[in-house]
Amino acid sequence: MFRFTVRELVLLTLVVALGCGWIVEHGRARWLGARLKESRRQLADQREESHSEIRRLHRVNEITAAQWANALRQVPSTRP
């Protein structure tokens, strides 16, 4: 029926094994790349949220400082 030499069978096995290994690694690399892209997007979103919160806190701090300055101006001086 089929007549293959040992050398041909070893070469065929090697080609199949390398092909399967390449397919597995290529799929894994694509999967890891997609995960990395998603992680970067999430980090960018978190960074933007943090920057927004920092800007909001700066505005609150400026308002509070202005309110304290106004309050101190309204307090009568205790100097003679």
pTM attached to this predicted model? 0.52
Is 1 among the domain residues? no
- Per-residue pLDDT 10s for the chain (80 aa) are 678 898 999 999 999 999 999 999 998 888 899 999 999 999 999 999 999 999 988 888 888 888 888 887 786 767 66
Residue labelled with tokens 């001086």: 77
Q: What is the pLDDT of residue 46?
A: 95
CA distance 40 to 51: 16
Is 4 among the domain residues? no
Q: Domain count of the chain?
A: 1
How is residue 1 annotated by DSSP?
Answer: -
Joined together, the tokens standing for residue 14 give 């090697």
Alpha-helix residue ranges (DSSP H) falling in the chain? 6-74
CA distances from 34 to 12, 21, 30, 42, 50 (A): 33, 20, 6, 12, 24
Is 19 among the domain residues? yes
Q: What is the pLDDT of residue 80?
A: 61
Q: What is the pLDDT of residue 79?
A: 66
Is 78 among the domain residues? no
Joined together, the tokens standing for residue 52 give 């927004």
Joined together, the tokens standing for residue 57 give 């806190």
What domain range is 33 assigned to? 10-72
Is 27 among the domain residues? yes
Q: What is the pLDDT of residue 1?
A: 64
